[in-house]
Every structure is written in structure tokens, then in C-alpha cells.
Amino acid sequence: MILRPQYALFIFSLFITNIAYCQDVDTSNPIERSIFDTLLFDTLKVNKIVFMNKDSNIFEVVQDSRLYDLLEKNVRISIEKENKMPGYRVQIFASSVRKKSDLEKSKFLSLFPTIKAHTIYEPPNYKVRIGDFKTRLDAQKALDLIHANFQESYIVRDEITTKKKKISSK
């Protein structure tokens, strides 16, 4: 019976992990414990947090360092989502060729430099949408303004970007 490489690697890692955890470490000897912790935690890339309560009981929390990275990424995504809300934009162009949509976007920005333009890819099309309007009425005003230059433009519901909230420290 021949084992696949994935299974062999899995069995080998279980074997090594079992050996690492089954070693007899004298926890009363701080030097031996320190060496074991250093070897184990550096190899597995984990963070160890030690807490001590008022009764001098020691609690160790061991966690994978990737867990902290994942938590940090989640916070960043949450902050980005706070600045988004449902609203309206005006779509001025759509094409499956990116260069055409980029040309149309630059044409728009040369005519209307104060209005933000966004290129959105929704397979198979690149769409050029302008503005971040909270109400349909605001989007209609922008549509009326640009309609002479972009006759095929129309209003769409989209997730818009709002201004970032500034946190004041008191």
C-alpha cells in the first residue's frame, strides 16, 4: 500500500506534534521550562500570554499568532464598511474592455473634475459610475448636469462611500 504525499505529511506532523507534547518537562525547574517553551512556541509560531490573579494562580493562554493577524484584518474591514452605505450613483458607461472604460472615465473627469468617478468591475463588464449620492434627487441633479455629454447615462442604486467620521478626543 502506497501513501499519498499529503497523507504521509499529515501522519508525520501528527507524530512530531505528539512527541513535542509528550515530553516530560520538569515545570518546577524554570530553566528547563523556559527552554521547552522557547522551542515549542518558536516552532509553532504561537503567542503565549500569562495572567496572574490575586490568589497568585497563574493562567497561560496560548494562541496561534495568525489569530491576532486575523482579528486585525477583521477590524480593518469593519472600519472600511462603516464608511459605506446604500445610495445612488450615475452610470455613464459600461464595456467589457477596460481601456474603453478608462478613456470614458478620463473624458468625464476632464469635463467635471469636481465629481468623483468610480470604475467598477462586475464580470464581464467594467462600469464607470459617478458620484456618491445619498438621495435619488441628488443623483437626478447630477444626471441632468452631465446628460448633454453622456446621453446613455442613468441612475443606479449602489453602495456609496461616505466621509470618514473624525473621532474627537475629549
Indicate if 44 and 92 belong to the same structural domain.
no
CA–CA gap between residue 94 and residue 24 (Å, rounded): 67
Indicate if 93 and 150 belong to the same structural domain.
yes
pLDDT tens-digit series, residues 17-43 = 655 555 554 555 554 455 545 544 544
**Could you tell me the pLDDT band of residue 67, with boundaries at 50, 70 and 90?**
confident
In a domain, 168, yes or no: no
Average pLDDT across the chain, whole number: 76
Indicate if 95 and 147 belong to the same structural domain.
yes
Residue 10 domain boundaries? 5-70
pTM of the entire structure? 0.52
3-state class (DSSP) for residue 58:
strand
Task: Give Cα separations from 163 to 75, 82, 107, 127 (angstroms).
Answer: 18, 10, 25, 23
Alpha helices in the chain (DSSP H): 5-22, 30-44, 65-82, 98-111, 136-146
pLDDT tens-digit series, residues 109-153 = 999 999 999 999 999 999 999 999 999 999 999 999 999 999 999
Strand partners, 119: 128
Q: What percent of the chain has pLDDT over 90?
A: 44
Indicate if 43 and 99 belong to the same structural domain.
no
Domain boundary among 70, 95, 123: 70
Indicate if 65 and 90 belong to the same structural domain.
no
Indicate if 89 and 154 belong to the same structural domain.
yes
How many independent structural domains does the chain possess?
2
Indicate if 97 and 143 belong to the same structural domain.
yes
Model pLDDT, residue 56: 65
Q: Quick one: average pLDDT of 74-83? A: 72
